[in-house]
Amino acid sequence: MSAFWKDILLQSRSRALALSVCLCLSLQVTSANVAAIDFQRDIEPIFQNHCIDCHGPEEQANQFRLDRLANLLSGGNSGEPAVVPGDPDASYLLRLIKHEEPDREMPPDGKLSSDEIELIRGWIADGARTPASYGPAKETIQLDHWSFRPLHRPRVPAGNSAAIDWLIHRKLDQNGLQPSPAADRRTLIRRLSLVMTGLPPTPEDVTTFLRDDRPDAWQRLVDRTLSSEHYGQRWASHWLDLVRFGETNGFETNRERPDAWPYRDWVIDSLNEDKPYDQFVRRQIAGDALGDDVGTGFLVAGPHDIVKGKDPKLGLVQRMNELDDMINTTGTAFLGLTTGCARCHNHKFDPISQRDYYAMQAVFAGVHHGSRSLTPSRETKQQLAKLDAEIADLTEKLKRFLADESTSNSMPRPAVNAVSNEERFEPRLASVVRFTIKKTSGGQACIDELEIYSGDRNVALASSGAKATSSGDFKHPLHKLRHINDGQYGNARSWIVDSVSGGWVQIEFAKPTVIDRIVWGRDRQKKYSDRLATVYHIEAADGENNWVPLASSDDRRPFKGVRSNTPTYQFESHPEADAAQGRAWLNRLRQARSGKSSLETSAQVYAGTFSQPGKTYRLYRGEPDAPREPVGPDTIDVFGSLNLNEDAPEQSRRLALADWITDATNPLTPRVIVNRIWQFHFGTGIVDTPSDFGHNGARPSHPELLDWLASELIQHDWSLKHIHRLILNSHTWRQSNRPVAAAMTVDADCRLLWRFPPRRCDAETIRDSILTVSDSLRHDAAGGPGFSAFAVQLENVRHYHPKQDYGPDDWRRMIYMTKVRQEKDQVFGVFDCPDASMVVPRRSRSTTPLQALNLLNSRFVMQQAGRFAKRLERESDSTSRRVTLAWQWCFGRPPSEEELSDSAAFIGQQGLTQFTRALLNSNEFVLIP
C-alpha cells in the first residue's frame, strides 16, 4: 500500500476534480446569458446584508460561510451541498432561504424577498459563478491536530525501558516532583500477577522470586508471566469490552448466540501467541480474506435487533443501526475516532463529513449478522478426505452383508431426518421455490425453517425481502407461516401445514436469484422429531413460471423412523469369521461417520455473513427515507482514499479498509493501541479519552512518550508483548504505590506517575482470585463454549434467572462466563462489569454498599469461603500455620505479629469460615498494589 497519510496538506481528489469539470462545463454553457445575473452586483449584496455576519469571516455558524466557494459547494454541518451549480433544486441553500426546512429557516430574522430568492435561484441555475477571491472549488485542509500528524520518535538519551523513565522523570522534574523508590519484591510480583494475568501469585512463585538473586530476576519473571496462557485470558477481557462482545443478541428477545465463543478464544490465543497487532486488526475486519475466519466475529460482536416489524422504514432503521454499530466500533476501537457523529451531519469537531460516514458504511454494507461455516483448515480437509475414502472403502466391503432391499448399485442419499436435511443442485436462477409435502411420519408436516442459499447467503429470509405462501396453515400460536423464513430455529418458530395429506409452502424472492442449495428441518434444536416430511419434492420456477425439479426424496433411502438412517446389514447368514469381520467393519464405519459429522458440524461461527451490497447513499439527517447521492466505499476523505470503485467486490472493501488502518503511515492506529496498553497498566492512559483522539478528546499528558511507544510498536513488528516488556521493566511501573503528601497536593490523580497508582481489581480479577485461593479454579477448563451464570427461560423473549447453586462447571475463569447482554452476574456484576451493550474503552470504578452485601452474603462467596476454610484445614492442624498460609495465598505476604494474634483469637471464637469470609472481603485482597 502506498502512503495514504500525507504530511500536512491534502491534495484534491478525483471527486473534487469531477466537480470542477462539471463546473467548467456549466460555465461554458451559461456564458451566453452571463449578463442576466452578475454575482457582485446582484448576489453578493444579499449575502452581505443578511448572511455574512453569522456565515462569513467572523463567525461560521454550523461551519458554513458564504464567502468561500469551497464551503458554498460542500455546505455546512448538515452535510448537504449548499449550492449545486446548475441545479437549484438540489441546492440546500435555496431550501433554507425558501423556508422549506422546519427549524432551519434562513435568515432566522426574516425571509428574503421573493425577488432576492429568485435572483439566487437564477445565479445557481446559471452555474453559481463566484469571483476568484472566493477561492477554488476545493481547498486544501490543514491537518494540524496532534494525533493526525505523523509519528515523531523523540530523541531520548536512553534506550528501552529507560527511555520511558527518562520521559516520565523529565515531566516530574518540571513539576517539582520525584519518582518514588522501587516497590518491594512481594508487592511487585503481586502487582505483576494481578495486572498481567488477573490472578494472585502462588506462594511458591513469591518465594522463588524472593530467592532469585540473579541481576535479571525481574526481567525473567516478566518473561515467564508474559508466556503464561493466563496473560491472554486476562487481557482479552479488555479487548472484548472494547469491541462490545456479547453472546446474546440483546434487545427485547435477547436470544443466545451459541456460536459466538470462538471469537473469544481467538482473541485470547492471538494475545498469547503475540499475533502482530496489525495482523490482529486486519483479521478482525477481513479475516475471511486472510485465512483466519474467526476474527470477523469482531464485525458482528455487537447487539442485533431481530424483531422485525412490517413497517418497512423500521426495518431500514434497524439495518442502519447495525451498520452504525460496525462503523462506530471500527472507528473508535482502532482509530480513536468518533465517526458515529457524522451519521446525521458533518462531524462538529473532526474532519469527518457525512459523506465520509456513508463511505465507511459502504465498506460494511455487505456484512450481516449471523453464523457462517468456516472454511475448513487444511488439516480438517485432509482428515475429511481420509474419512471419506475410508467410508467408501468400508461401504464397498460391507455391500455383501446388505439386507436384500438395498443391494442396488446406486448410492442413495441418507433418509430424511428431523434435524437438518440438505439438498444440493446445480446453481440456477429462480424467482420462486416450492416445497411440496407428499407424505409424513405422522400428522401434518412441520418445518422449522426453509433455507435457500445463494452461496453463503440464505435468500429465503423474510428480512431479505422473500415472501412465503402456502397451501394452508395449521392455526397455532407457535406455528406460523412467517416462521418458515424468519431465520429462527426450533419448534416454537416453525410452520405446520394444515392438511395431513400434504400441501406445499413456497418462497418467492424479492428478485430472481441464483440458488444452489436448500436446507430444511423439523426442529434444528433437536427436541422434536414428529411431523417429519418423508416424501417430498422441491421445484423452482423462473420469472416465466417454468417449473423445474430441484430435489426430492426419491433418491433418498426410505425413511424408517427416527433412528435408522443407515442401511440394514445382515450378518447372521454368513460364516462366523466373515460375520465377525463384517461387524468390525461396520463398527469402524460408524466411527468414521461420526468422526466426519463432528468435523463437519463443529465449524459454525458467529462471525457474520457477507454478500455483495447494492448502492449506499448519503442520508439527509441520517433518515433512511431521505437518500441523497450514492457514495462508494472509502475512508475519511482528508486522510486518504481506498481507491475503490463504487461497485467494488464486498470483501475487497473491508480488506482495503483494513490495509489502510494498519498502513505504517497511519499514525492513529499505533498511538491508540499503545495508549490502551498504558491505560490498563496504570489505570489512566497517556490520553485520558482512549477512544477519542480527535479535537474533542483530551491531549496526551506525555505526547513524546506516546509517540516513542508507538514507534517502538512498529519497529518491533507490532508486538504487543514488546510494549508490555518495555513498560513492565521500567522503573515507572516498578515504583512504590505509597502516597506522598507533597505530591498529592500537586497531582492527586497521579497523572504524572510519581508513584504506581493502586486501584481496586475489576470484577473478573476478584472472582478469579477468590476461586484461586479456595483452590476451586478450573485450570483445566480454558477455552471452548462458556459457562452460564443463569438458568435460561426459553421463551420467545429469553429470561435469565441467576443461578442459585454452583459447582465445578461454574468455577472457570470469569472470561469464560457466557456474556449475556443486559444481564450481569448477580454477585460480581455490580463491580462495574459492562453488559456488552456498548463499547467500553475503560470501565468505571465505583464503590457501593451492594458490592459489600454481595461479597459478604452471597451464596457464591460463602461457598468459596467454606472451601477456602476446608483447604486450610487440610493443609495444617495449627491455627497460626493456617493464618500464615491464608495470608500468603490472599496477600502474598506473611501476617504481622498483630495480625497473627488477632486472627488466631478471631478464629478461636468464630471459626475458620468466618475468618476466610473476612479475608475475601478485605481491601488488601481486592487491591492491585
Partner 1 sequence: MKPAFDRRQFLSQTASGLGSIALASLLQQNLAADAAPIRPKIDPARPFAARATHHPPAAKNVLVIFCSGACSQIDTFDYKPELVKRHGQPMPGADNLVTFQGQQGMLTKSPWEFKPRGESGKMVADLVPQLGELADDMCFIHSLTGKTNTHGPGENFMSTGYTLDGFPSMGAWTTWALGTENENLPAYVAIPDPRGTPQSSVNNWGPGFLPAAFQGTQWSANKPLGNLAIPAGTSEKTDRATRRFLKRLNERHLEQFPGDAELAARISSYELAAKMQLSVPEVTDLSSESKTTLREYGADDSENTLKAQFAKNCILARRLIEKGVRFVQLFNGAYQTGGEGVSNWDGHKKIHEQYSKHGPVLDQPCAALLRDLKRRGLLEDTLVVWTTEFGRMPTFQKGASGRDHNPDGFTAWMMGAGVKAPYSYGATDEFGYKAVENVTTVYDFHATILHLLGLDHRRLTFYHNGFERRLTDVHGSVIRPILA
Which of positions 816-845 make contact with partner 1 (CB under 8 A)?
821-823, 826-827, 829-833, 835, 837-841, 843-845
Residues in Cβ contact with 164 at an 8 Å cutoff, skipping those fewer than 6 apart: 705, 708, 709, 726, 727, 730, 732
Residue from 40, 48, 175, 407 touching partner 1 (CB under 8 A): that is 175
Q: Which long-range contacts (CB under 8 A, 24 or more apart) does 347-352 make?
A: 347/694, 348/63, 348/77, 348/696, 349/694, 349/695, 349/696, 350/145, 350/694, 350/695, 350/696, 351/141, 351/143, 351/636, 351/637, 351/638, 352/636
Between residue 279 and residue 318, which ones bind partner 1 under the rule CB under 8 A? Answer: 303, 305, 307, 309-312, 314, 317
Nearer to partner 1, 268 or 638 (CB): 638
Distances (CA, A) of 38 to 95, 112, 116, 549, 606: 22, 18, 13, 71, 62
Find the shortest distance in angstroms from Cβ 730 to partner 1.
Answer: 20
Which range, of 71-79, 270-278, 287-295, 745-753, touches partner 1 by CB under 8 A?
Answer: 745-753
Q: Could you say which of 40, 850, 881, 908 contacts partner 1 (CB under 8 A)?
A: 850
Q: Between residues 114 and 909, which has the closer beta carbon with respect to partner 1? A: 909
By CB under 8 A, name the one of 483, 760, 767, 819 that touches partner 1: 760
CA angle 46, 48, 54 (to 5 degrees): 115
Select the residue interacting with partner 1 from 111, 751, 870, 893 (CB under 8 A). Answer: 751
Q: Distance between CA atoms of 251 and 259, rounded to whole angstroms? A: 18
445 binds partner 1 (CB under 8 A): no
Q: Does residue 904 touch partner 1 according to CB under 8 A?
A: no
Assess 847 for contact with partner 1 (CB under 8 A). Answer: yes
918 binds partner 1 (CB under 8 A): yes
Which residue, 100 or 173, is less far from partner 1 as judged by CB? 173
Any bridge partners for residue 440, and if so which? 533
Q: Shortest distance, CB of residue 865 to partner 1, whole angstroms? A: 9
663 binds partner 1 (CB under 8 A): no
Minimal distance in Å, beta carbon 350 to partner 1?
A: 9
Least Å distance between CB 706 and partner 1?
A: 13
Which residue, 43 or 926, has its beta carbon nearer to partner 1? 926
Q: Alpha-carbon distance 394 to 581, whole Å?
A: 11
In the complex, the smallest distance separating the C-beta of residue 18 from partner 1, rounded to whole angstroms, is 32
Q: Does 62 bind partner 1 (CB under 8 A)?
A: no
Binder to partner 1 among 225, 491, 691, 730 (CB under 8 A)? 691
> Among residues 101, 542, 659, 899, which is the contact residue for partner 1, using CB under 8 A?
899
Stretch touching partner 1 by CB under 8 A, among 506-514, 637-645, 710-718, 736-744: 736-744
The one among 385, 403, 742, 852 contacting partner 1 by CB under 8 A: 852
The residue within the footprint of partner 1, chosen from 7, 749, 809, 873 (CB under 8 A), is 749
Q: Which of 835, 865, 838 is nearest to 763 (CA)?
A: 835
User: Which residues sit opposite 689 in a β-bridge?
Assistant: none
Per CB under 8 A, the segment of 277-285, 442-450, 697-705, 717-725 that binds partner 1 is 697-705
Should residue 623 be labelled a site residue for partner 1 when binding is judged by CB under 8 A? no
- x/- letters, 345..374, toward partner 1 (CB under 8 A): ----x-------------------------
Regarding 126 and contact with partner 1 (CB under 8 A), the answer is no
Is residue 182 within the footprint of partner 1 (CB under 8 A)? Answer: no
Kindly state whether residue 71 participates in binding partner 1, applying the rule CB under 8 A. Answer: no
Q: For residues 767-826, which are near partner 1 according to CB under 8 A? A: 793, 795-797, 799, 802, 821-823, 826
Long-range contacts of 696-700 (CB under 8 A, 24+ apart): 696/338, 696/348, 696/349, 696/350, 697/147, 697/336, 699/146, 700/146, 700/675
Report d(CA 250, CA 823) in Å as an integer.
10
DSSP notation for 178-230: -PPPBPPHHHHHHHHHHHHHSSPPPHHHHHHHHH--STTHHHHHHHHHHTSHH
Residue 54: count other Cβ atoms within 10 Å of its Cβ: 17
Minimum CB distance to partner 1, residue 320 (Å): 12
Scan residues 218-257 and list those touching partner 1 (CB under 8 A): 250-254
- What does DSSP say about strands 799-802 and 790-793: parallel, antiparallel, or unpaired? antiparallel
The CB-of-55 to partner 1 minimum distance in angstroms stands at 16
Residue at grid coordinates 495508549: 675
Q: Does 673 bind partner 1 (CB under 8 A)?
A: no
Which residue number, 124 or 306, has a Cβ lying nearer to partner 1? 306
DSSP string, 139-176: ---B--SGGGSPP-PPP-SS-HHHHHHHHHHHHHHHTT
Question: Is 170 an interacting residue with respect to partner 1 (CB under 8 A)?
Answer: no
The answer to whether 732 contacts partner 1 (rule: CB under 8 A) is no
Q: In Å, how far are 222, 613, 670, 842 from 363, measured between CA atoms?
A: 41, 9, 22, 28
CA dist., res. 838 & res. 329, Å (int) = 9
Q: What are 374's three cell numbers?
A: 468456516
- For 760, phi and psi rounded to 5 degrees? -70, 140
CB 707 within 8 A of CB 151: yes
* Secondary element (H or E) of residue 786: none
Provide CB contacts within 8 A for 211, sequence distance 6+: none
Residue (of 417, 438, 442, 430) closest to 535 by Cα position: 438
What size, in residues, is the chain? 929
Give the residue with the Cβ less far from partner 1, 182 or 290.
Answer: 182
Q: Which of residues 320-349 bind partner 1 (CB under 8 A)?
A: 321, 332, 337-338, 341, 349
Among 136, 739, 783, 894, binds partner 1 (CB under 8 A): 739
Q: How many residues bind partner 1 (CB under 8 A)?
A: 107
Applying CB under 8 A, which of residues 86, 694, 786, 892 lies at the interface with partner 1? Answer: 694
The Cβ of residue 754 has, within 10 Å, a number of other Cβ atoms equal to: 25
The residues in 128-147 that bind partner 1, with binding defined as CB under 8 A, are none
Q: How far is CA 474 from CA 132, 427, 445, 479, 534, in A?
A: 74, 33, 10, 7, 18
Q: Does 21 bind partner 1 (CB under 8 A)?
A: no
- Only one of the segments 60-68, 191-199, 566-574, 698-706 lies at the binding site for partner 1 (rule: CB under 8 A); that segment is 698-706
Task: Kindly report the three-state secondary structure assignment for every residue of 427-450.
Answer: EEEEEEEEEEEEEECCCCCEECEE
The string of DSSP letters for 851-897 reads HHHHHHH-HHHHHHHHHHHHHHHHH-S-HHHHHHHHHHHHHSSPPPH
Of 389, 429, 746, 791, the residue at the interface with partner 1 (CB under 8 A) is 746
CB of 191 to partner 1, least distance (A): 13
Nearer to partner 1, 268 or 323 (CB): 323
- CB 862 to partner 1: min, Å: 5
Q: Which stretch binds partner 1 (CB under 8 A): 34-42, 356-364, 416-424, 851-859?
A: 851-859
Nearer to partner 1, 31 or 846 (CB): 846
| Residue pair 250/306 in contact by the 8 Å Cβ criterion | no
Min CB(309)–partner 1 separation in Å? 4
Among residues 849, 874, 877, 897, the one that binds partner 1 under rule CB under 8 A: 849
Q: Smaller CB distance to partner 1: residue 130 or 863?
A: 863
Does residue 202 touch partner 1 according to CB under 8 A?
Answer: no
The 3-state secondary structure of 683-732, one letter per residue: CCCCCCCCCCCCCCCCCCCCHHHHHHHHHHHHHCCCCHHHHHHHHHCCHH
CB of 807 to partner 1, least distance (A): 18
